[in-house]
Chains A and B, each alone.
Chain A
Amino acid sequence: GNSVTQMEGPVTLSEEAFLTINCTYTATGYPSLFWYVQYPGEGLQLLLKATKADDKGSNKGFEATYRKETTSFHLEKGSVQVSDSAVYFCALGSTSGGSYIPTFGRGTSLIVHP
């Protein structure tokens, strides 16, 4: 079956540091890949997505590239801010019976200090 593995957190960084959160996946076929962000007390928000190999998703300074050969979709940001502190979820999406079902990783907590 489908699965997503993320690096364990928390990841603790100083403001303006470079961020990488690793994500690898196992899936049949060619799923779409996603990063979601969850701020304290809120639901998940879609951060970025990529739908095929070598696609790069980007949003709000975050980027991730769909690497089919390494089955990875690592999240990066060049300079983090305190406001980026949140939990980040990697997910893959597959279609089954006409409906789209995502599979989520366990999440990685990011803490950014001033």
Chain B
Amino acid sequence: DAGVTQSPTHLIKTRGQQVTLRCSPKSGHDTVSWYQQALGQGPQFIFQYYEEEERQRGNFPDRFSGHQFPNYSSELNVNALLLGDSALYLCASSPGQGTYQETQYFGPGTRLLVL
């Protein structure tokens, strides 16, 4: 079992550009959540996808959008990048129903640097 995988591992962009990050969930998991972890901070919830729909969203602007595919993999898109978007972006997967949702498995993250 490959666990949760994310790509790319590192990315450098300039202000105003757009970026797409990718996540493949753990086998058997149908729910994907995305988090932003700024340096020295805990992860902040961005949004969660289940059955190809955004099920919950945290306090992030519309520049952050996502998508989930029929195979449960997911993308995070960020438009009009700001310097403050520099962070580690974590993807986590879990089963979609009931208390099993609490057991989230995290990927290694994509480190985004905006210059």
Contacts and interface: CB of A to CB of B under 8 A. Distances in A.
A46 interface: yes
B112 to A, nearest CB: 15
Most A CB contacts (10 A, CB to CB) among B42, B48, B50, B94 go to: B42
B43 A104 contact: yes
Contacts of A36: 106
B6 to A, nearest CB: 8
A91 B42 CA distance: 9
A43 B108 contact: yes
A56 B105 CA distance: 21
A102 B45 contact: yes
Given A97-B56, A100-B102, A44 B90 contact: yes
Contacts of B28: none
Q: What secondary structure prevails in chain A residues at the interface with B?
A: strand
B70 interface: no
Interface string A92-114: 01011111111111110000000
A42 interface: yes
A71 interface: no
Interface residues of B, number: 26
Contacts of A46: 103-105
B102 A93 contact: yes
B108 A42 contact: yes
A44 B56 contact: no
Interface in A14-61: 32, 34, 36, 41-46, 49, 51
A107 B99 CA distance: 24
B107 interface: yes
B63 interface: no
A89 interface: yes
Contact of A100 (B58, B94, B109): B94
A99 B101 contact: yes
Interface of A: 4, 32, 34, 36, 41-46, 49, 51, 89, 91, 93, 95-107
Interface of B: 4, 31, 40-45, 48, 50, 55-56, 58, 90, 92, 94, 99, 101-109
